[in-house]
Structure 1
Amino acid sequence: MSDVLTSSAVWRAEKSVGITGHTRHLHNPSPISVGFNAPGMCKTLTFGPTALAASIARTATLRDAPPEMLARWGDSALTEVEWLIEDGSTFMLTQHINSLADAERTAFAGRVGAGVTDLLMNALGYTWRDNAACLSSSLAPHADFIYGDGAVTDYGVVLAEARGSFAANVSAATISGQAKRKYSKQVNPHLAAESPHGKIIHGYSIAFGSRPGSAGAFLHAAETRISKPRGKPPPSTEPTPSLNPESTPTSLALATHRANFSLMDAPSIVTWIDWVRAGGEHPDAHSPVSFLEIPYAGRIFLASVDSLWPFHGYSDWLDDLWHDPRMWRHFPRRRPLRRSSDGFAGWFVMEEKSAGRFLNALSAIIRDGRESMPATIELPRIEPAGFVVDRGEGGAVLPDSEYAYALYRDGLALLGSPPPRRIVGHRTWSPQDGMLDN
C-alpha cells in the first residue's frame, strides 16, 4: 500500500479487492458432514457502491426489531459508502473518515466488514441467511451470520464471522491475525452444533481492513479444512441430497425475507412472517399489500407501495398511475435516501417471480396454520448482479451496463440508478389468497 491522500469524490467506479490471505483450520471430525465439499475460495472480489451498500443493509436488518426501524437502518448505507470510500478502482477511504469520532469510525468499519462478508458469501453460492444470535440466548461469543443453500444444500448450514478494521496499524498480518482469532473463538466452538436451520457443518471468518490515507485493502478468509479420507470411505449415514435445486429450509427463508421486506418497507408482510415464525396475536387477515411492477435491467421488480405513497389504503390512484405515466414524475417517496449528484434515493425492490413464489408459500402457511408449516418450500434463485468474483480463470470485471444496481440470489435488489419513468402494472398480495393479478 502506498501512502497517498487524494481529494474526495463520490464513489462511483467498481473496485476489485484481492484475497490477501486464505487459511484452512482443522476440525475433528472432518468432514463434519460426509459428502460436503466447500466451494473454492475466489481470488478477487469486485463490487460497486450499490452492492456494498445493499450488503451492509442486508446484514444490519437480520434482527427481530420492528420492521419500520430496520427499514431506516438501511437508509444511510449508500450515503456512507459513497462519501467515506474514495472513487476509483482501488479501495481507499476518503479524508472524511478522519472527521468521524473513533467510535463511529469503528462502527463504520464493522458495517463494511459485514457487507464485504455478505458479498463474498453470496459469491460463493450461499443464498439464505439469518443472524447467528439464534444459536444461543446467552452472551457466549458466536459468529455473526448463518448461511444456507449452494454447496451446503441438504447437508446443513454454514457459519460466517465478519470483521472490519480501519486503523493506522492495519496490514496483511493484522487482518490475517484477526480472521484466525475470530475463527478460533467464534466459529470453531459452534461447528457440528445444531441450529434452528440445521446442523452447522462448515465455518468462515472474514476479515477486511484498510489504512486511512493509504490506497489498497486487505481481505483474509479463514475457513474449516475438509480432510480427504484415507483408503475406502465408510458407508455414509448422511441423507442423500435431494434432486430439487429449489428446495429451501422454511425457517431460513422466513428469516431472510423478514429482512428483505423490512428493507422494502413492507411492515404488513413482516408482521405475518413474525406470526408464522413465533405465533402471538393473529394479524388482520383483510389487509392486502400492493406492489408496483417496475421494469429495470431487463427484469420486472416489485416495489412496495407502503414505501412510496402515504395513501396506500386507497387503490384507485394505482390505476391512474399505471395508465398515465406522466404522473410518475410527481410520485413522492416517504423515505428518500439523500444522494449527492443525481438526486435518486436508491430503492429496495424484489424480482417479481422471487417475491411471488415466496408470498404464495407464505399464504399457504397462513391458510393451513403455522402448526403444519412445511420443513421446506420451493423458491427460485437469481443470478447475482452488481458484484463478481475471479476464481483465477480471468479478471473479475463487471459487465458494462447503463444500470447501477445490486441483485442477490434471493431476489432482493437495490436500484442505484433511477428506473424508467413508467410502471407496467401492479400486483396485490392477500394473506389468505396469495398474489393476485390486477
Structure 2
Amino acid sequence: MFAARVGGGATDLYMNALGYAWRANAICLSSALDPHADFIYDGGNANGHGVVLAEARGSFSDSTTAATIRNASQNKYLRQVKPYLGKASPYGDVIHGYCVAFGSALQTPGAFLGVSETKVTRAGDLKRGVPPNAISQGALDEGVPAPIALATHRSNFFLMGGNRVVQWIDWLRNADRSVPPDTNPVVFLRLRYAGRNFLISTPALWWLDPFRNWWAEFYDNSRQWRPILRSALRPHATRRTNLGCFAMEETAGIAFLKALTGMLDPRSLRFPSNLRLPEFAPAGFGTINDDVSEGTPSGDYNYAFFRDGLALLGDPQRGRPVGVLEWSPKDGVISKDWQ
C-alpha cells in the first residue's frame, strides 16, 4: 500500500511537470475487476483534444533495480493503458497514455524512475497521441471541461477537510437530489504564505494552537460564529506537531466556489460545458521553477504547489492570517479582511 501511494504521488508530480492540471480516477473506464490505469488527466498538450491516461507503479524491495522499474513501466503500459486508447470516458476521448514507475532498493540510497508512453508518429495524429505544442488559444479560452474540474476539486476539498463542499459536489453530480446537504455557510481561513493567499478549511486547524487563538480573538464577540468556532477550534490536542495541511490558492478557490454556486442555482442545476478556472506553474518541487511573487523568499518555505491551485503547506504556522472567506451554496463567496 505504501509503495502504491508513493508511486501515485510520483506519477502526479510527473504529470504536473508535463502540464496536466486536471485529474480524475480512471475506474470509470472499466469494471473494478478489469486492469485499468489509475488516473485520467486533462490540460497540457491534450487541452481541447481529449484526455490522457496515467498508470502509477511503486516498488520498494531488495530486488528493485533500474531494469525492473523500466520493465514494470513497459508491462503496465501495455496491459493497463494501451487497451484504452481511443476509448470514450465521461471526461473526453482517451488520446494518449503514460505509465510512470518509481521505486528503490531497500537500504540503498537513490531511486529509479521509468516512463512508458504512447508513441507519437506524426503531428496531428490524435489517434496515436498528442501532437507537440497542440494547445490552441481557442481551447485555452474555453476553459476546463466541467466534469473533470468537479472531479479534481472534489479530491482537493476532501484533502483540505472541506467536507461540506464535497457533499455539495456529490449532490450536484448525483441524479437523485432529493435531500440537499446543509445550506449553512462554509468558512475558510485566508492565510498569507510564501507570497500568496491560501484558503484553509477550519476543521484542519484544530491542532494549530496559534490559529485557535487568532480565531477566538477575532470572533469572540460575534454570536453568529460561535457555533462554528466551538466546532472548529475545539482543543482536541494540546501539543504542537509538525504536520502540514492542504490548502487552496485563494483565486483558484474563489473561482471554483463561485462556479459551484452558479451550478447549484435551482433555476438551472446543470453542468456548463466548461469552467473558467486558473492554472499555475508548480512550485516547491525543486526541479520545477518556483512561481512566486517577486522578492518572496520561496526557499525559506516548506510547501508544494500544484497547477490546479492545491497546495501542501509543510509549516502553516509560519503563515499570516489575513481574513476569512465564507462560501454559501445560495449566496456565493464573501471575503473578509482582518484589520
Cα offsets for 1:215-258 (capped at 9, x unmatched)? 2211011000111269xxxxxxx997625347001100111111
Q: So what's the TM-score if we normalise by structure 1? A: 0.64
RMSD: 2.9
Distance in structure 2 (CA, Å) of the matches to 1:319 and 1:246: 43
Name the counterpart of 2:91.
197
Distance in structure 2 (CA, Å) of the matches to 1:388 and 1:245: 30
Name the counterpart of 1:257.
153
Q: CA deviation at 1:427?
A: 1.1
1:30-429 equivalences in 2 (<5 Å): 107-228=1-122, 242-245=138-141, 247-280=143-176, 281-284=178-181, 286-308=183-205, 318=215, 320-321=217-218, 343-368=241-266, 371-389=269-287, 401-420=299-318, 422-429=320-327
Does the 8 A contact of 1:322 with 1:425 survive in 2? no
Q: CA deviation at 1:306?
A: 3.0
Distance in structure 1 (CA, Å) of the matches to 2:4 and 2:86: 27
Distance in structure 1 (CA, Å) of the matches to 2:236 and 2:150: 25
Q: CA deviation at 1:388?
A: 4.4
Does the 8 A contact of 2:282 with 2:288 survive in 1? no
Query: Is 1:432 the counterpart of 2:323 in the alignment?
Result: no
Distance in structure 2 (CA, Å) of the matches to 1:118 and 1:418: 23
Q: CA deviation at 1:286?
A: 2.8
Percent of residue pairs identical? 47
Q: CA deviation at 1:137?
A: 3.1
Does the 8 A contact of 1:381 with 1:409 survive in 2? yes
Distance in structure 2 (CA, Å) of the matches to 1:386 and 1:414: 10
Report the AA paired with residue 403 of structure 1: Y
Distance in structure 1 (CA, Å) of the matches to 2:27 and 2:183: 33
Does the 8 A contact of 1:295 with 1:420 survive in 2? no
Distance in structure 1 (CA, Å) of the matches to 2:55 and 2:304: 22
Evaluate the alpha carbon distance shift between residue 188 and residue 355 of structure 1 in structure 2; reply closer, same or farther with a 3 A threshold: same
Greater relative contact order (Cα 8 A, min sep 6): structure 1 or 2? 1
Name the counterpart of 1:76.
none
Cα offsets for 1:184-229 (capped at 9, x unmatched)? 0000000000010000000000111110011221101100011126
Does the 8 A contact of 1:308 with 1:333 survive in 2? no
Q: CA deviation at 1:309?
A: 5.2
Distance in structure 1 (CA, Å) of the matches to 2:181 and 2:172: 13
Q: CA deviation at 1:372?
A: 2.9
Name the counterpart of 2:127.
none
Structure 2: where are the runs of 5+ without partners?
A: 125-133, 208-213, 222-231, 290-296
Cα offsets for 1:146-172 (capped at 9, x unmatched)? 011111100000000000111111111
Distance in structure 2 (CA, Å) of the matches to 1:258 and 1:335: 26
Of the structure 1 ranges 242-251 and 114-123, higher mean CA displacement relative to structure 2 is found in 242-251
Report the AA paired with residue 352 of structure 1: E
Does the 8 A contact of 1:294 with 1:419 survive in 2? no
Does the 8 A contact of 1:293 with 1:424 survive in 2? yes
Distance in structure 1 (CA, Å) of the matches to 2:104 and 2:136: 43
Report the AA paired with residue 23 of structure 2: R
Report the AA paired with residue 252 of structure 1: I
Distance in structure 2 (CA, Å) of the matches to 1:291 and 1:332: 13
Structure 1: where are the runs of 5+ without partners?
A: 1-106, 231-237, 311-316, 325-330, 392-398
